[in-house]
Amino acid sequence: AKASGGARWALYDADRDRRELARQALSAAIPAALQRGEFYLDYQPLTSLRDGRLLGVEALVRWRHPELGVLRPDSFISLAEETGLIVPLGAWVLAEACREAESWSAAGGPAPYVSVNLAVRQVHRPGLVQEVRGLLNSTGLPPERLQLEITESTMMSTAEEPVRALRVLADLGVRIAIDDFGTGYCNLAYLRDLPVTELKVAGQFVAGLRAPAVEPASCADERILASLVSLAHALDLTVTAEGVETAGQAERLRAIDCDAGQGWHFGRPAPAERILERIG
Ligand code: C2E
Ligand code: CA
Ligand code: CA
């Protein structure tokens, strides 16, 4: 038993080594890929549940890899976070999003804001405020049209620097959203201490929503969502539900007074031109 167990382990380790090597190679390729312009942004609509208006769009990074094809962020973001390469990559995403968003306008309403994901490292870096301020200046994007999405894990450390930086940015008028709300450490103290403007509730709660015809009594997911919405509204925050895939889910979210929705039901991530066709 020992011997065969050992053989299995050897096999497993070889596999793991190969995967680890592939990951490292991918990571090492990020700086050159940035220089060659292999990254691009898709945008996904954030739609008002009250009147269907396009409130904003989330920027989602993709890598057009010359050999592997288009890579989704899940295959390289965590890697980039580990190696620190998320800092130059994230800086590129932020700059590109601000550049593109500056030209967006809407007929007869405020132009949509652009919502950018920030990795933990980006928020904990001392230069963040300067970077954002510099970008708003150089692109001319009004601060209200930029939203930064941070996760609960960003705020888990007790470091004061990120809190201070986010406060300065919020004072400039930049919007701050908590991404994947409800999946991390739900330490509500940061809702008191941080200048948050929006909660983005993770799609896993939305997935459980049922049309009333199917399931008359509201399910646990719906009650959780409804409580989150009242909590948020009591704190003057808006709520965007993620992962809205069906009209039935959108209907239930409207019924519990959720503010906005994001998901395939409202539109898949797509290049800016395609999203903006909708606002003319
Ligand atoms: P996220 O911030 O939660 O972004 C939403 C993800 O859900 C996107 O995946 C989007 O394509 C997907 N999605 C949208 N609507 C639906 C739906 O109706 N159903 C389902 N099942 N999924 C939906 P994507 O583009 O693969 O991005 C994955 C994650 O990668 C993002 O999750 C975000 O955490 C991260 N990410 C993306 N771009 C960046 C970036 O520029 N910087 C950083 N730090 N992270 C990024
Ligand atoms: Ca996000
Ligand atoms: Ca999210």
- Taking only the tens place, the pLDDT of each residue in 76-103 is 999 999 999 999 999 999 999 999 999 9
Residue nearest to atom 15 of ligand 1 (CA): 263
Which atom of ligand 1 is the closest one to the Cα of 93? 41
Q: Examine the pLDDT at 75 and tell me if it is beyond 60.
A: yes
Residue 228: band (very low, low, confident or very high) from pLDDT cuts 50, 70, 90: very high
Question: Ligand 2 centre and the CA of 10: distance in Å?
Answer: 39
Ligand with minimal distance to 202 CA: 3
Range name among 67-81, 94-108, 180-194 with the lowest pLDDT average: 180-194
Contact residues of ligand 1, CB 6 A cut-off:
44, 60-61, 72-74, 77, 90, 93, 117, 119, 179-180, 203, 242-245, 263-264, 269
What whole-number distance in Å separates Cα of residue 153 and Cα of residue 182? 11
From residue 220, alpha-carbon distances to 200, 206, 209, 259 in Å are 18, 11, 9, 20
Question: Ligand 3 centre and the CA of 201: distance in Å?
Answer: 7
Pocket test for ligand 1, best of 30, 93, 117, 246 (most atoms within 8 A of CB): 117
pLDDT of residue 10: 62
Q: ipTM for the complex?
A: 0.98
- Taking only the tens place, the pLDDT of each residue in 161-178 is 888 999 999 999 999 999
CA 49 to mean position of chain CA atoms: 19
pTM: 0.92
Residue nearest to atom 22 of ligand 1 (CA): 243
* Residues β-bridged to residue 61: 41
What whole-number distance in Å separates Cα of residue 279 and Cα of residue 250? 21
Residue 160: band (very low, low, confident or very high) from pLDDT cuts 50, 70, 90: confident
Q: What is the mean pLDDT of residues 253-262?
A: 97
Q: Examine the pLDDT at 211 and tell me if it is beyond 80.
A: no
Question: Ligand 2 centre and the CA of 62: distance in Å?
Answer: 14
Ligand with minimal distance to 44 CA: 1
Q: Examine the pLDDT at 1 and tell me if it is beyond 50.
A: no
Question: Ligand 2 centre and the CA of 202: distance in Å?
Answer: 9
What whole-number distance in Å separates Cα of residue 200 and Cα of residue 230? 14
Q: What is the mean pLDDT of residues 10-28?
A: 81
DSSP string, 36-52: HT-EEEEEEEEEETTT-
Ligand with minimal distance to 148 CA: 2
Closest CA to 57 of 47, 65, 69: 47
What sign does the CA torsion over 110, 198, 222, 209 have? positive
Residue nearest to atom 30 of ligand 1 (CA): 73
Which atom of ligand 1 is the closest one to the Cα of 269? 11
Ligand with minimal distance to 243 CA: 1
